[in-house]
Amino acid sequence: MNRPDVARSLGPMFTIEHDFDATVVTLIDDPASHRQEDVTINAFEDCVTIEQEDAQSGRLCKITLSLSQLADLTAALNLPEGVYKRKA
């Protein structure tokens, strides 16, 4: 039995799907009055895209990161404030 109300009470949720040419991760925000739309991350061989629907306009917003930018972001999440250059 699939009970969405039970799933929501378990805390933050996400899904992972493996398509032919990408791994797709969907981040599902907690239900609340300030809730944001779900975020979909598509990991391709040469880039990563991040998509989220704009609730006001209904338009899909999409950001594309190169693998180098993704590596920089990954490193930045664990560093203090400052300016850095990642070694190749």
pLDDT digits (tens, 9 = 90+) for 38-86: 999 999 999 999 999 998 899 999 999 999 999 889 888 888 888 888 7
pLDDT given for residue 10 in this prediction: 56
- What pLDDT is recorded for position 69? 93
pLDDT of 12 higher than 80: no
Element (H, E) at 62: strand 60-66
φ and ψ at residue 10, rounded to 5 degrees: -80, -10
Among residues 39, 35, 66, 36, the alpha carbon closest in space to that of 50 is found at 39
SS3 82: coil
pTM, 2 dp: 0.73
Residue 79, CB-side half-sphere exposure with 13 Å CA sphere: 12
